[in-house]
Amino acid sequence: MFAPYAIATWEAATIIAIISGLVGFFVVLRQSTFVAHALPTGAFAGAGAAALVGVSSLIGLGVFSLLSAFLMTALRRRSTKDTATALAMVFLLGLGALFLSQSGAYASSVYGLLFGQLLGVSRSEIPIIAAVAVIIVVVTLAIYRPLLRSSILPELTGAQAISEPVLETVFLILVAAVTAVALPIVGALLVFSLLTAPPAAARALTSRPHLATVLSSVIALGIVWISIALGFTTNLPVGFFVGSFGALVFVASRFIGPTRLRPARLLARHTRLDRTPT
Amino acid sequence: MIISTLLHDIVAAGFLTNPAVRTAIVVGALSATVSSVVGLFTVVRGQSFAGHALSDIGAAGGSGAALANISPLLGFVAMNLIGALTLEAFQPKRVRGRDLVTGVVLGAILGIAALLLYLDTTLTTSTGTTVSVLFGSLFTLPSNSLPLAIGIGSVSIFTIAWIYRPLLLSSVSPELAQVQGVRVRWISLVFLLALAAAVSLSALLTGAILSTALLIGPPTIATRRTHSIRSALVLSIAIGIGVTLAGILLSYDSVAWTSQGVGWPVSFCIVALLTLVFFLVPRRTHTVGEHLTKDEPRSAPTPPSSSALVSK
């Protein structure tokens, strides 16, 4: 588990957990779960493109996550946010299916790209991942206040120095950057789980934004470390553990903390369903 | 004469006589129809994410079916129905946070899909399950899956026809529906079940993770062109079937064009054509029920267009 070849995995996973906890906090606050799921799924095509062209898959993933973000922004002008997200994702996924069929070598790694791979990054890629992570943290902290304000009270952003469309674009680029870094280990389909479950749990535990941001990274770190350790010992896919633990942590957070659900109240709510307005 | 040679150039030899292609065309047209109808309500209700989540959830069923050696369609449908019930059970009453719950359920079930696909590749000799479940395998569809596909498609369409009026009303204005005595929660559950059946069908065509294309694409284009729900339905079905059949043809033809004889996958062809149509067809009206899918509070005043839509 801690053999020399596995060190890169632990280093990358730690970085991934910290940045996804940080950016994920805003994903949850801005109700962008679908975006967080669609961006990595679309970026998956990047690995295929990289294999066809013959460059590092990290570059392919980076380019396609950004492409995915810009496509979403462009499509939003022509339809609603929801459908724009869906259309951008299926378009890039379609490209992914094409690259997949055209490069035979790529087919064997499809599973790893979608559901995560323990040895998804190599030692030489750690500096790049670390650099991207530092940029993500710096940018997020630089726009922390305006982003927080616009996420909570979108109506008030007219009075701000940075306009809402600019903030949204920067936010999408941040999610894209996290995607490109996290995808090789966690897998395209489950990056979003890391971006939503820990911050959602953190928000249920505290209502203070700064504490919630830190807590979100801590929970993400816990999930990722346990998933990797279990991945090494059981040989099962990392994505399976990340998805399951994410859901578990989310459910658990609903029952502890200040805003917890009480079973009796829950039961009462569910038996009244038909009569209460939606 | 010119037309016939042109047709020969467009339709490659054996296209209409090949039994695999025939099955593909029938299943394709069927699932395009079902997806376009159900997808229109999905778009109007602003449930694109739930629609996509259900199709991803189906991947767990498809991979489970491959493990148990039963028809993938059965696996998709079973898992999607379970997914729809789970989504509805955990759905919070307020709109805020709905996506989050959908996401957490999706994450958990995708984790299970990862496990099942892993077992597929380690316990059985089939290595292509991941690709065929997620990206579709239309041309390798056995023809005996046809009756099941037709059955599931009809159930989905008839369900929509059965709840058409209350569904339309509660999609456009839940408050109004509530006042009129529509059981909004019940309608929403029945709709999710119909949606589950629809995405299972199109998962056969384009694979689990791409079935969102047929669900969201044609209705989005249709609602950009027309205000009335009926013409949107007709237009959506027409676009859906047109794009699907053209996609199947393009995929079949492309085998001859590419150097190694590996054609373009059907899912890519369909999505590429949809994108093309989306950008070529200019917008004419506001989207049906746009005020609901935009990030506005649900209590926003209903524009006259949608009330005209309901009273028709």
> What ipTM goes with this model?
0.84
Asked if residue A172 is part of any domain, the answer here is yes
Q: Using CA coordinates, name the residue in chain B closest to A191.
A: B107
How far apart (Å, rounded) are the C-alpha atoms in residues B15 and A165? 49
How far apart (Å, rounded) are the C-alpha atoms in residues B111 and B109? 5
Q: Is A10 within 8 Å of chain B by CB?
A: no
Q: What is the pLDDT of residue A268?
A: 55
Highest-pLDDT range among A3-12, A17-26, A248-257, B64-73: A17-26
Q: Using CA coordinates, name the residue in chain A closest to B216.
A: A83
276-295 in chain B: CB under 8 A from chain A: 278, 283, 287, 290, 293-295
| Greater pLDDT, A86 or A260 | A86
Q: What is the pLDDT of residue B302?
A: 41
Asked if residue A277 is part of any domain, the answer here is no
Q: How confident is the model at residue B304 (pLDDT cuts 50, 70, 90)?
A: very low
Mean pLDDT of chain A: 83
Q: What is the pLDDT of residue B301?
A: 41
Running DSSP on this structure, what letter comes out for residue B47? -
From A31, A81, A101, residue closest to B265, measured CB to CB: A101
Q: Is B134 within 8 Å of chain A by CB?
A: yes
Among residues of chain B, what percentage have pLDDT more than 70?
82
Express each pLDDT in B98-127 by its tens digit: 788 888 889 888 888 888 888 877 776 666
- CB-based contact B180:B169 (threshold 8 Å): yes
Query: B300 pLDDT exceeds 70?
Result: no
Q: Which of B127, B171, B145, B141 is nearest to B289 (CA)?
A: B171
Asked if residue A267 is part of any domain, the answer here is yes
Q: Is A111 within 8 Å of chain B by CB?
A: yes
Express each pLDDT in A237-246 by its tens digit: 888 899 999 9
Q: What is the pLDDT of residue B299?
A: 42
Q: Is A102 within 8 Å of chain B by CB?
A: yes
Asked if residue A128 is part of any domain, the answer here is yes
Asked if residue A72 is part of any domain, the answer here is yes
Query: B40 pLDDT exceeds 90?
Result: yes
Q: What is the pLDDT of residue B39?
A: 94
How far apart (Å, rounded) are the C-alpha atoms in residues B115 and B107? 13
37-56 in chain A: CB under 8 A from chain B: 37-38, 41
Q: Is A113 within 8 Å of chain B by CB?
A: no
Question: Which of B175, B189, B195, B268 is the best residue to mutate to test the A interface, defined by the most A CB atoms within 10 Å of its own CB?
Answer: B268
Q: What is the pLDDT of residue A277?
A: 45
Question: Which of B52, B127, B172 is the best residue to mutate to test the A interface, defined by the most A CB atoms within 10 Å of its own CB?
Answer: B52
* Domains in chain A, number: 1
Query: B150 pLDDT exceeds 80?
Result: yes
- CB-based contact B160:B194 (threshold 8 Å): yes
Q: Which amino acid appears at position A47 of this protein?
A: A
Tell if the CB–CB gap between A97 and B207 is shorter than 8 Å.
yes
Quote the domain boundaries for residue A180. 4-271
Burial A142-155 (b: 16+ CB within 10 A, else e): ebbebbbbbbeeee
Q: Is B119 within 8 Å of chain A by CB?
A: no
Residues of A in contact with B270 (CB under 8 A): 94
Asked if residue A79 is part of any domain, the answer here is yes
Q: Quote the minimal CA–CA distance from B204 to chain A in Å.
A: 15
CATH number at residue A238: 1.10.3470.10
31-60 in chain B: CB under 8 A from chain A: 43, 46, 48-49, 51-52, 56
Q: Using CA coordinates, name the residue in chain A closest to B294.
A: A80
Highest-pLDDT range among A56-60, B74-78, B296-300: B74-78
Query: B23 pLDDT exceeds 80?
Result: yes
Give all domains of chain B, ordered by start, each with its CATH number: 33-311 (1.10.3470.10)
Q: How confident is the model at residue A160 (pLDDT cuts 50, 70, 90)?
A: low
Please state which of the ranges A60-69, B140-149, B196-205 shows the lowest mean pLDDT. B140-149
Query: A56 pLDDT exceeds 60?
Result: yes
Asked if residue A239 is part of any domain, the answer here is yes
Q: How confident is the model at residue B309 (pLDDT cuts 50, 70, 90)?
A: very low
Express each pLDDT in B231-260 by its tens digit: 999 999 999 999 999 998 888 888 777 666
Residues of B in contact with A259 (CB under 8 A): none
Tell if the CB–CB gap between A190 and B111 is shorter than 8 Å.
yes
Asked if residue A278 is part of any domain, the answer here is no
Q: What is the pLDDT of residue B94?
A: 66
pTM of structure = 0.83
3-state secondary structure chain A: CCCHHHHHHHHHHHHHHHHHHHHHHHHHHCCCHHHHHHHHHHHHHHHHHHHHHCCCHHHHHHHHHHHHHHHHHHHHCCCCHHHHHHHHHHHHHHHHHHHHHHCHHHHCCHHHHHHCCCCCCCHHHHHHHHHHHHHHHHHHHHCHHHHHHHHHCHHHHHHCCCCHHHHHHHHHHHHHHHHHHHHHHHCCCCHHHHHHHHHHHHHHHCCCHHHHHHHHHHHHHHHHHHHHHHHHHHCCCHHHHHHHHHHHHHHHHHHCCCCCCCHHHHHHHHHCCCCCCC
Average pLDDT over residues B261-267: 79
Please state which of the ranges A49-58, A104-113, B165-174 shows the lowest mean pLDDT. A104-113
Query: A257 pLDDT exceeds 90?
Result: no
Average pLDDT over residues A173-182: 91
| Greater pLDDT, A19 or B286 | A19
Residues of B in contact with A237 (CB under 8 A): 114-115, 118
